[in-house]
A and B are shown apart, each in its own frame.
Chain A
Amino acid sequence: MASNHLTGIGSESKQLATWYFTFAAILFGAQLLFGLVAAIQYVMPGFLYGILDFSIARIIHINALVVWMVFAMFGSVYWLLPDETGIETVGIKIGKLLFWIFALAIVIVVLVFLFIQVGPASDTTIWFITEGREYIEAPRWADWGIVVVALGFVGNLFLTGMKGKQTGIVTVLMADMIAFAGLYLAGMFFTDNISVDQYWWWWVIHLWVEATWEVFVGAIAAYGLIKMIGAHRQVVEMWLWIEVAMLFGSGILGLGHHYFWIGTPEYWWEIGALFSALEPLPLVAMFVHVLYDWGKTQGAEMAKEHTDEYQAKSVITNKPAFTWFVLNAFGNFLGAGVWGFFHTLPQVNLYTHGTQFTAAHGHLAFFGAYATILVGMFYIAVQGTNGIKVLKSTKLSIWSTSLITGGMLVMTVALTIAGYVQVLVSRAQMGATWAGYFDGQSGVWFAQAMDWRLIAGVVVFTGFILLAIDLLTTGKNPVHKR
């Protein structure tokens, strides 16, 4: 079959992208399932007692989140490379091999987590079971495997970018993915001093996510806007450079808000406060960007047809994906911006640090900033692989989007209420004492908030099931324009 970069049919790179997306969607389901188990255990501590420990459910919940997003990010790059560079991805066979190595490694790591839930703190454990570091618990062999896969992926990207057309999007991605692969190394060594150890650990947790992932999202948003509403490339790419500058400008030293209480010098208070206060600005600017591009292109369409916005033909060629991209702009703003900002200054972070406020922020930020846009990319792939010109929203896509988004918002509010109780009782009233910790968690408001979190989790999981069905079936739905 002839290669057709526009539709995705016949492109090996796009075929590989769909593999990545499929595995990402499976891991997304696993992430939600284990999150649900952990949420049940919060409410009913005896649930699966002796079979699945809360700590393991939590590890899989968080690690599956990170890994599904990495898979979806790799898939997104393999999807857009032929469109952007005008050529097939270089070294695609190695890319395919690395996919299978990566997928197999993840399956083995999860199975080991499930079968060996407790054990000694030894070198064998670090190498083969878990490194035990929060959020990046993968054993060392898997760490090295991830580095090899990431370098192979970066190699594919660079060779293709240098051989084909070098658009702004590809150039930004090339630079960003170097940082993406390099920063992971900061989480692969230990030091005897816990402050020094945490100092480097935050390079992975903060810089990886708040710098390289955010820039990645900017590049994907740029690609999506060009594909879905025909936004002008020069405008979109110019914005991308502004976003890169703003994100690195505020994001790198915004890292300071993680250095308030780990034993680092006090000047981090000032640095963290200043740059954390500036961190929402790129997110607000992203808002301008999406509105500007949509307004300009839709406005041009209206002017062409001499009608108003309700009668003019929509310029959007993929409604479900565009919905997820718009949710990304709002979700990033709310989750990373609003929920991040209200506990980022050291004066108030002293009370909120380590409470459910952090969980509320983490849940909405990861969902809003990353999950949304990656699900949008799933829909772009569905459109491409099925040769659809205009992909319309279906009842299933509307229901799944509403349930997942609504559930996430309720979950965030519930966790915020729980965090507020902890701030007042455990921290402000009882001075972060041992007794305060338990008193804060035994109150009615906290317990009820955890119940609501669980209910919201069930809603999100139901939405995910509908999303999976829609992604699998909508390609054949005759309602779309081909």
Chain B
Amino acid sequence: MIDPSMIRPGIALNDFLTIFVSSALVLVFGGFYVGIYTAVKVKLLKPWTMLFAYMFWVLTAYCLYLMGSLMHVGEFTAKALVVAAIGLFLLPFAVYYMQNQVHEENEH
């Protein structure tokens, strides 16, 4: 017999799989976003494919929201996740811009 007080009600049993899959997809979709963005910028992909990059970022943000909701994160963690989503959005812009500037300065 299991002591009922030992059972933690924080996360519903059926939500675990969704949490794990959505949190894994956060980075998978995030990787696609960053990868496509960079590939378009260095001309490995056609410019119109950039649309897919932004779609992947939207999916990333949705997965973060889903994961956070099902985990019942606190207010602070929710804000941290929003910061992470915005950080991921800006990251390729910032890194690419800086790399490109250095490249231009040294090549031309």
The interface of chain A, by Cβ under 8 A from chain B, is 232, 234-235, 238-239, 242, 270, 273-274, 277-278, 280-281, 284-285, 287-289, 291-292, 295-296, 299, 309, 333, 337-339, 341-343, 345-348, 350-351, 420, 423-424, 427-433, 435-436
| Cα distance, A351 to B96, chains bound together (Å) | 38
Q: Is B34 positioned at the interface, with any CB of A under 8 Å from its CB? A: yes
Q: Is B49 positioned at the interface, with any CB of A under 8 Å from its CB? A: no
Whether the pair B27, A284 counts as a contact (CB closer than 8 A) is: yes
- Closest CB pairs A-B (n = 8): A431-B6, A295-B42, A342-B23, A347-B71, A274-B80, A277-B84, A338-B27, A273-B77
| Cα distance, A432 to B77, chains bound together (Å) | 25
Contacts of B103 in A (CB 8 A): 232, 234-235, 296
Chain B nearest Cβ from A292, distance in angstroms: 6
Q: Is B98 positioned at the interface, with any CB of A under 8 Å from its CB? A: yes
Instruction: Kindly count the residue-residue contacts between A and B in the assembled complex, taking CB atoms under 8 Å apart.
Output: 152
Whether the pair B24, A342 counts as a contact (CB closer than 8 A) is: yes
Whether the pair A238, B77 counts as a contact (CB closer than 8 A) is: no
Contacts of B48 in A (CB 8 A): none
Specify which of A270, A289, A348 lies most central, judged by the most chain B CB atoms within 10 Å of its CB: A348
- Contacts A288-B99, A428-B7, A433-B3 supplied; 5 other A-B pairs, CB < 8 Å: A270-B76, A291-B35, A291-B44, A295-B38, A346-B77
The interface of chain B, by Cβ under 8 A from chain A, is 2-3, 6-8, 10-11, 13, 16-17, 19-20, 23-24, 26-28, 30-31, 34-35, 37-39, 41-44, 71-73, 76-77, 80-81, 83-84, 87-88, 91-92, 95-96, 98-99, 102-103, 105-107
Contacts of A242 in B (CB 8 A): 95, 98
Whether the pair B91, A285 counts as a contact (CB closer than 8 A) is: yes
Contacts of A337 in B (CB 8 A): 27
A interface secondary structure, majority: helix
Residue of B nearest to A297 (CB): B42
Whether the pair B16, A420 counts as a contact (CB closer than 8 A) is: yes
Contacts of A433 in B (CB 8 A): 2-3, 6
Chain B nearest Cβ from A287, distance in angstroms: 6
Whether the pair A235, B106 counts as a contact (CB closer than 8 A) is: yes
B interface secondary structure, majority: helix
Contacts of B98 in A (CB 8 A): 238, 242
Of the candidates B41, B81, B107, the one whose C-beta lies within 8 Å of that of A277 is B81
Contacts of A234 in B (CB 8 A): 102-103, 105-106
Contacts of A424 in B (CB 8 A): 13, 16
Chain A nearest Cβ from B84, distance in angstroms: 4
Whether the pair B2, A431 counts as a contact (CB closer than 8 A) is: yes
Contacts of A423 in B (CB 8 A): 16
Whether the pair B72, A347 counts as a contact (CB closer than 8 A) is: yes
Whether the pair B88, A284 counts as a contact (CB closer than 8 A) is: yes
Whether the pair B27, A428 counts as a contact (CB closer than 8 A) is: no
Whether the pair B31, A292 counts as a contact (CB closer than 8 A) is: no
Contacts of A346 in B (CB 8 A): 77
Whether the pair A299, B2 counts as a contact (CB closer than 8 A) is: no
Whether the pair B7, A431 counts as a contact (CB closer than 8 A) is: yes
Contacts of A284 in B (CB 8 A): 27, 30-31, 34, 88, 91
Whether the pair A430, B2 counts as a contact (CB closer than 8 A) is: yes
A-B CB contact pairs (8 Å), 7 listed:
A232-B103, A238-B99, A345-B73, A348-B71, A351-B8, A430-B6, A431-B8
Chain A nearest Cβ from B64, distance in angstroms: 9
Contacts of B41 in A (CB 8 A): 292
Whether the pair A270, B77 counts as a contact (CB closer than 8 A) is: yes
Contacts of A273 in B (CB 8 A): 73, 76-77, 80
Whether the pair B10, A347 counts as a contact (CB closer than 8 A) is: yes
| Cα distance, A338 to B21, chains bound together (Å) | 10
Whether the pair B43, A295 counts as a contact (CB closer than 8 A) is: yes
Residue of A nearest to B36 (CB): A291
Of the candidates B11, B23, B34, the one whose C-beta lies within 8 Å of that of A351 is B11
